[in-house]
């Protein structure tokens, strides 16, 4: 079948869910990077503070957007009642606990005199990192629970979303460091962050290639791979502008700007971080809009399974594509 003209794409999840997945990833990724940098002490104080200020608010805003996208927002609180059988319910608990730990960490870090190396702070940071990683993985697991879309069922989706969340979270911190820079002292921190950025971006490149390769090997998911490879927002917007250009700019920032002025360093960091963030959003949107129902092959004929309209779940309101 020609993927340009045949096949039924899912229409239930679009831009709003992509924004939620993006903000959930940014929140979890920014907190994880900030919590890890907090163990490095005063040398990374600015990145730690900015990351903590991004983590909780980003996830809170994303959750509000998700509630707005529900079929029955008034009953969203019921979504967490059956964690034993529903990944949506498990996600509610995972996200809620992460928000608790990230908010507590932010308050203690910013508004108290507790030592940043105190045992209690370290425990909160470790628990926060655990639930941040679970939150980042859940954004991919949520897609995997949609059994009607083979493209999303790959075990690589949660891995890809975790890596991408670390990348976008990292770039969101760098963007904040540019905006709230502390003068020349920020240059050394941005240089160190550039090294971290190179590492996580390279890992994301490998993750997206493994994901597409694994999906293409599955006959039911192959059509979606062909579709996403035709999408300008994926090839140009995400892969080139969202990964390739930021990677080059981070290498330049680290190895070719040691003698450059503050304004030049901030400019390169700003452009690279902004492009990386846009790329993270485009990745999630591209994966959502290219999810297609499988084609059935019987006696030499190909049939497209048509999704039947389904009433929203009365207790949740969020019905994934079936």
Q: pLDDT tens digit string along 259-301? A: 778 888 999 999 999 999 999 999 999 998 888 776 655 444 4
Helix (H) or strand (E) holding 298: strand 295-298
At a CB cut-off of 8 Å and minimum separation 6, what does 14 contact? Answer: 285, 288, 289
Mean pLDDT of 1-14: 57
- The reply to whether CATH 2.30.40.10 applies to domain 15-304 is no
Residue 263 burial (C-beta neighbours within 10 Å; 0-12, 13-18, 19+): exposed
Question: Which pLDDT band, with edges at 50, 70 and 90, does 309 fall under?
Answer: very low
The confidence score (pLDDT) of residue 69 equals 57
pLDDT over threshold 50, residue 41:
yes
pLDDT over threshold 70, residue 81:
no
pLDDT over threshold 90, residue 63:
no
Q: Which two tokens stand for residue 206?
A: 């490998």
Determine which of 30-44, 152-166, 198-212 has the lowest per-residue pLDDT on average: 30-44
The confidence score (pLDDT) of residue 302 equals 47
pLDDT over threshold 50, residue 43:
yes
Mean pLDDT of 29-39: 89
Distance CA 48, CA 41 (A): 9
pLDDT over threshold 70, residue 208:
yes
65 vs 313, more confident:
65
The confidence score (pLDDT) of residue 72 equals 58
Reduced to 3 states, what is the DSSP secondary structure of residue 180?
A: coil
pLDDT over threshold 70, residue 253:
yes
81 vs 96, more confident:
96
The confidence score (pLDDT) of residue 4 equals 46
Tens digits of residue pLDDT in 65-78:
766 655 555 555 55
The confidence score (pLDDT) of residue 157 equals 87
pLDDT over threshold 80, residue 23:
yes
At a CB cut-off of 8 Å and minimum separation 6, what does 33 contact? Answer: 47, 51, 166, 169, 170, 173, 196
Mean pLDDT of 233-256: 93
pLDDT over threshold 70, residue 126:
yes
pLDDT over threshold 80, residue 90:
no
Reduced to 3 states, what is the DSSP secondary structure of residue 293?
A: coil
Domain boundaries, the chain: 15-304
Distance CA 312, CA 12 (A): 11
The confidence score (pLDDT) of residue 240 equals 95
User: Which of 56, 57, 52, 63 has the alpha carbon at shortest distance from 19?
Assistant: 63
Question: Which pLDDT band, with edges at 50, 70 and 90, does 206 fall under?
Answer: very high
Cα 315 to Cα 96, 97, 180, 195: the distances in Å are 18, 21, 44, 46
Q: Are 7 and 1 in contact (CB under 8 A)?
A: yes
pLDDT over threshold 50, residue 3:
no
Q: Which two tokens stand for residue 23?
A: 């903000």
pLDDT over threshold 70, residue 159:
yes
Residue 121: strand pairing partners: none
- Share of residues in the chain with pLDDT > 90 (%): 34
pLDDT over threshold 60, residue 305:
no
The confidence score (pLDDT) of residue 277 equals 95
- Residue 88 has, within 13 A of its CA and on its CB side, a CA count of 18
Q: Are 163 and 133 in contact (CB under 8 A)?
A: no
Distance CA 161, CA 88 (A): 17
Mean pLDDT of 138-151: 77
pLDDT over threshold 60, residue 230:
yes
Q: Which two tokens stand for residue 61?
A: 């805003």
Q: Which two tokens stand for residue 210?
A: 């493994």
Q: Are 149 and 292 in contact (CB under 8 A)?
A: yes
Mean pLDDT of 76-104: 73
């Amino acid at each position: 079948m020609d993927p340009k003209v045949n096949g039924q794409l899912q229409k239930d999840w679009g831009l709003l869910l992509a924004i939620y997945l993006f903000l959930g990833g940014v929140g979890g990724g920014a907190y994880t990077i900030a919590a890890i940098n907090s163990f490095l002490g005063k040398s990374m104080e600015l990145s730690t503070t900015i990351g903590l200020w991004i983590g909780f608010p980003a996830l809170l805003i994303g959750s509000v957007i998700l509630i707005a996208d529900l079929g029955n927002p008034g009953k969203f609180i019921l979504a967490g009642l059956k964690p034993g059988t529903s990944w949506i319910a498990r996600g509610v608990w995972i996200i809620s606990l992460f928000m608790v730990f990230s908010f507590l960490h932010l308050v203690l870090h910013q508004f108290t005199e507790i030592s940043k190396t105190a045992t209690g702070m370290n425990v909160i940071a470790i628990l926060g990192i655990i639930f941040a990683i679970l939150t980042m993985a859940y954004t991919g697991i949520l897609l995997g629970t949609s059994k009607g879309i083979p493209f999303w069922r790959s075990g690589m989706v949660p891995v890809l979303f975790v890596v991408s969340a670390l990348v976008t979270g990292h770039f969101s911190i760098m963007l904040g460091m540019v905006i709230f820079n502390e003068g020349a002292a920020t240059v050394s921190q941005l240089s160190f962050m550039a090294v971290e950025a190179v590492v996580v971006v390279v890992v994301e490149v490998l993750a997206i290639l493994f994901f597409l390769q694994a999906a293409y090997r599955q006959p039911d998911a192959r059509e979606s791979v062909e579709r996403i490879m035709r999408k300008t927002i994926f090839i140009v917007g995400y892969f080139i502008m969202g990964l390739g250009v930021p990677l080059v700019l981070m290498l330049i920032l680290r190895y070719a700007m040691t003698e450059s002025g503050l304004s030049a360093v901030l400019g390169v960091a700003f452009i690279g971080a902004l492009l990386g963030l846009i790329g993270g959003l485009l990745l999630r949107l591209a994966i959502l809009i290219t999810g297609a129902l499988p084609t059935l092959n019987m006696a030499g004929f190909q049939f497209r399974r048509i999704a039947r309209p389904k009433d929203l779940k009365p207790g949740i309101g969020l019905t994934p594509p079936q």
